Amino acid sequence: MNLLGWARASIRRFLLVLLLPGLSAVVVGELWLGWRTASEAADAAYDRSLLGAVKSIDSSISTASGGIGVELPYRMLEFFELTAQGQVFYRVATEDGLVEIGSADLPTPPRPLKTGQPQFHEGAYLGQAVRVGSYARELNPPLAGQTGPQRVVIQVAETLEARNDFRRALVLQSLARDVLLMLAATALLALAIAWAMRPLDRLRQEVDARDPQDLTPMNDSGAPAEVRPLVQAINHHIERNRAQAEARRRFVDDASHQLRTPLTTLATQVAFAQRETDPGAQRQVLDTIREQLDETIRQTNQMLSLARADSAPPQRQAFDAVALSEALVRQWWAQAREQGVDLGLDAPDGPLPLQGEPDLLREALSNLLHNAIRHGGPGCHVTLVLRRLADDAVQWAVVDDGPGVPPDELARAGERFFRGRGGTLPGSGLGLAIVRTVAQRHGGTMHVSAGPDGRGLSVSLRLPAPPAADGLAG
């Protein structure tokens, strides 16, 4: 499983899997450093003993007889051998090798000796690994027959058993310490991760304990800074669910409000038609039922359009506003002619690119044209106007010179189910509400005012300027 898979499974496990290799690498590095430190400490301690043995032998060298005389400090060498827990070898010789006392074939120093400066190195002697301390000084006086300066070389070697045991003990102590530190660090890390995850656990418990109908925002004041964006995202999701639930509730209320009366009326009319024996009267009742059904179907379609405009997810696309306007005028031309209404279009000659939801805009403008044609009456002029404004916004307007709306009711135009007191024709009062909802869904506005010269009505739908689209959809 990769790291992403571990993170999906558990954040705690992901952090531990991510951090424990790092801790292990630190421990390995610490062990290497511990081994280096232990080796240096062992060499420093035992090299001081070697140097002490070298100095003791050096102090017993004499040239008063013309040759080299050495009175070996046997007690010191025995004590040194006991301390080293191994074998000890020595060699005293002139630098030219003419005089040599002790073990003649001890390993020579890898570098030239400097007078008065000891040198330590490892080598092999009699098949055993040894540590050798070498030291050189000038003979004073030199040997007989020597006219120039002459140096004597003193070497003491010891086998490595005690040194290695000491080094091994230091490394094992360092290993035990590091293992304990790693275990303690892992335990502290696990506790720290568990403590850091407590806000998420509390958040989970709070969400689980909520009533399914509780859509109030969660309080993020006590959440850590890293958890607060998650709480805010949850609140945003809650707000969207609340809006959708409110839209569904409003749709149910609207449907019950609008459909109860027409359905009751239809049931009454059907019962009357069943009792009627006169074919002419029965035909008249059936015509009335047909009109009532058409109005009920239209009201139902308007409520569905309003519900879709309220809650459906945005599906914007590029389209040509001029082509949409021309299609709408062609669609309503026959009904306008049947009603004796003069329907016209005032739009730019070329295409006008726009981004939005053309189906909803077509529904909104159809409601405006339907209202204007229906309420204008014979002889009325209705014009669909399309303009690109100075700020690159796009505006549709449906203008008529019909009876219009009283000035004191203009402010309420667009409210759900509001119908002016001058309305004589049946209707749902949802047409302008649909237009306003569609405008708001596109980030725009709807404006209702009196028509030209104070006659009729002008309803405009203004949409903000979008970025120009590369392609156009009809």
Cα–Cα distances in angstroms (integers) from residue 154 to residues 33, 139, 160, 222, 389, in the given order:
33, 12, 20, 77, 106
pLDDT at 415: 56
Top-level CATH class of 317-463?
alpha beta
20-34 pLDDT, tens digit each: 777 778 778 877 887
User: Binning pLDDT at 50, 70 and 90, where does residue 443 land?
Assistant: confident
Q: Is the pLDDT of residue 334 over 80?
A: yes
Q: pTM for the full model?
A: 0.44
Say which range, 14-18, 37-41, 150-154, 404-408, has the weakest mean pLDDT: 404-408
262-281 pLDDT, tens digit each: 677 777 777 877 777 778 77
pLDDT at 421: 43
Structure-model confidence comparison of residues 474 and 241, the more confident one: 241
Q: Rg for the chain (alpha carbons), in Å?
A: 52
Name the residue type at position 6: W
pLDDT at 172: 84
Q: Is the pLDDT of residue 342 over 70?
A: yes
The residues spanned by each domain of the chain are 12-168, 208-313, 317-463
User: Binning pLDDT at 50, 70 and 90, where does residue 470 land?
Assistant: very low
At 52 the three-state DSSP class reads helix
CA gap 8, 2 in Å, rounded: 10
Say which CATH topology domain 12-168 has.
Beta-Lactamase (3.30.450)
Other beta carbons within 10 angstroms of residue 256's beta carbon come to 9
Structure tokens given for 379:
């002889």
Q: Is the pLDDT of residue 326 over 90?
A: yes
Across the chain, mean pLDDT equals 77
User: Binning pLDDT at 50, 70 and 90, where does residue 426 land?
Assistant: very low
Question: Is residue 463 within 8 Å of 387, Cβ to Cβ?
Answer: no
Report the DSSP beta bridge partners of residue 345. 384
CA gap 338, 209 in Å, rounded: 62
Other beta carbons within 10 angstroms of residue 278's beta carbon come to 9
User: Binning pLDDT at 50, 70 and 90, where does residue 193 land?
Assistant: confident
Calculate mean pLDDT across residues 185-205: 80
Question: Is residue 288 within 8 Å of 273, Cβ to Cβ?
Answer: no
CA gap 241, 218 in Å, rounded: 14
**212: number of CA atoms within 13 Å, CB side?**
0
% of the chain surpassing 70 pLDDT: 77
Among 355, 351, 353, 352, smallest CA distance to 317 is for 355
Say which range, 54-58, 311-315, 357-361, 365-369, has the weakest mean pLDDT: 311-315
CA gap 218, 208 in Å, rounded: 12
Residue ranges with strand state E in 288-348: 317-320, 342-346
Report the DSSP beta bridge partners of residue 121. 132
Question: Is residue 88 within 8 Å of 80, Cβ to Cβ?
Answer: yes
At 448 the three-state DSSP class reads strand
Q: Is the pLDDT of residue 467 over 80?
A: no
